[in-house]
Amino acid sequence: MHRIVKVTVYWIDIKKCDTNIRSDIQYRALSSAGYQFLYQLLSFGMIVSSALMIWKGLMVVTGSESPIVVVLSGSMEPAFHRGDLLFLTNYQDEPVRVGEIVVFKVEGRDIPIVHRVLKLHEKGDQNNTVKFLTKGDNNSVDDRGLYAPGQLWLTHKDVVGRARGFLPYVGMVTIYMNEYPKFKYAVLACLGLYVLVHRE
């Protein structure tokens, strides 16, 4: 009887020990999963921060508030097509020239316009202000109908940048994302999910 009691007590101790081990393993597994999720979340934040830093760096190097833009219409065909990605610079000391392709903003319009400089007009004042007129290669008339009411010319302050290079059709993804919101959310969700679950 005495031996049986000892064996029974010993078995109970083993069972308690096994329960503690299992609890410890589960705790470590949950902790590991939590740390893994936190790591992936921080990685996603670093990717976003790096993208913002690169964009700000491009703004400083190019002198343009929008160093990369997407052509949204066919008004510049055949030079540029809808969906082409343009790389811009906007150095203040470089004069605007006839035939140059510029991206400019117009008062009352949120989206910049990509058109070619058609004509220059030098105003003979103390600042020697140079004004210019633009036109789309695929348009039959100049852009005065697109300018703000009463505006006949553009000045350098209206310019966002000047085209220095392009990649054909790369910007179509951006156009699809703007025209089809569900597609945009699907792409963003896939990217976020990939970053969160991807393990190096």
Please write the tens of the pLDDT for every residue from 94-147. 888 999 999 999 988 889 999 999 999 876 555 557 899 999 999 999 999 999
Residue type, 73: S
Count Cβ atoms below 10 Å from residue 159 Cβ, excluding itself.
Answer: 22
Do 60 and 96 touch, CB atoms closer than 8 A? no
Summarised one tens digit per residue, pLDDT across range 161-174 is 999 999 999 999 88
- DSSP string computed for 161-180: EEEEEEETTTTHHHHHHHH-
Catalytic hit among 64, 75, 84, 158: 75
One of 64, 84, 143, 158 is an active-site residue; which one? 143
Q: Please state the pTM of the whole predicted model.
A: 0.70
Among 64, 84, 115, 158, the active-site one is: 115
Residues 117, 102: contact at Cβ < 8 Å?
A: yes
Active-site residue, 115 included = yes
Beta bridge partners of 159: 104
